[in-house]
Amino acid sequence: MRSSERSLFATSIGGLTSLAVAGLLVPVRDAIHNANVALALAVVVVAAAAAGGRRAGVVTAGVAALSFDFLHTQPYQSLKIAGPDDVLTTALLVVLGVLAGEVAERLHQARQRRSEIGELQRLRRVTDRASFGDTSEDLTLQVSAELLDALHLRECWYEPAPFLGDLPVIEPDGTIADRVHRWAAGGFELPRDGASILLWSAGRLVGRFVATPTAGVGVPVERRVVAVTLVEQLGLVLALRAA
């Protein structure tokens, strides 16, 4: 799931969950302290911020604060707040959402930078192997190993053209034309029967890499794009050597 999609999903779920938690606690609001209600809502706010980042944290905190104010501070079913402690609690919910969202956003950006560096290193390893004079067969094995790791595959191998059967193709933008799409943690799964990345060199289809997925493991579209780029890089090296 892309960052914007994850943020939107976490924002929606966080806001709805805040409303649900506040509403479910209404029947027992006379029996529990408002601080406990605020604590329950704070858990929702932090969870939303951790999942969706800054926007999810702020929006969820806003919804949680309004829900707390409307349903659990006197006068009930009003946005007025009579008690100073409730004013402080409402404000702290908003501040918590902002802080938690900011921390989550920075952590996500740090993870994203580490991931981008790792993908660039894959490309550099193939380039280094080519510059050291590795044979085309060795480079093909290197790319297969990189694809195996990048796409979390069960198996990966190279097939020269012509091919014995058709497989869904991972396109340069990371999309796959397949009738069934299964969502798993991290992204959509690759087709269960396998997918392929075509190897073109000097405008000629010379082979394909067959990717056999690990069941239940999602692959983000960004990693699929990197996988295709690795194969394109190999095609360029082969074309230069054939020139």
CATH number at residue 237: 3.30.450
Mean pLDDT of the chain: 83
Please identify, among 110, 143, 168, the residue that sits at the C-terminal boundary of a domain: 110
Please identify, among 76, 110, 144, the residue that sits at the C-terminal boundary of a domain: 110
Q: Could you tell me how far CA 234 lies from the centroid of its own chain?
A: 27
Spatial CA neighbour of 167 closest among 211, 223, 201, 200: 211
Residue 123 lies in a domain: no
Kindly report the backbone phi and psi dihedral angles of residue 188, in degrees, each rounded to the nearest multiple of 5, phi listed first. Answer: -75, 145
Local confidence band at 82 (pLDDT 50, 70, 90 cut-offs): low
CB 230 within 8 A of CB 143: yes
pLDDT top residue among 50 and 152: 152
Residue identified by tokens 């014995």 is: 164
Does residue 41 carry a pLDDT above 90?
A: no
Q: Could you give the number of structural domains in the chain?
A: 2
pLDDT of residue 154: 94
Spatial CA neighbour of 195 closest among 222, 216, 169: 169
Out of 60-74, 96-110, 143-157, 229-243, which region has the weakest mean confidence (pLDDT)? 96-110
Domain that holds residue 172: 133-242
Does residue 143 carry a pLDDT above 90?
A: yes
Mean pLDDT along residues 193-205: 93
Does residue 79 carry a pLDDT above 60?
A: yes
pLDDT of residue 141: 93
Does residue 200 carry a pLDDT above 80?
A: yes
Specify the DSSP class assigned to residue 134.
Answer: -
pLDDT of residue 171: 93
Whether the link from the prior residue into 75 is cis, omega within 30° of 0, is yes
In this predicted model, what pLDDT tens digit does every residue of 103-136 receive, in sequence order?
777 766 666 666 666 777 877 888 888 878 888 8
Say yes or no: 138 and 238 in one domain: yes
Say yes or no: 67 and 142 in one domain: no
Out of 101-105, 169-173, 185-189, 201-205, which region has the weakest mean confidence (pLDDT)? 101-105
Residue 122 lies in a domain: no
Say yes or no: 7 and 98 in one domain: yes
pLDDT top residue among 8 and 166: 166
In this predicted model, what pLDDT tens digit does every residue of 151-183 receive, in sequence order?
999 999 999 999 988 999 999 988 998 877 788
pLDDT of residue 46: 83
Mean pLDDT along residues 226-234: 91
pLDDT of residue 134: 84
Residue 124 lies in a domain: no
Say yes or no: 106 and 149 in one domain: no
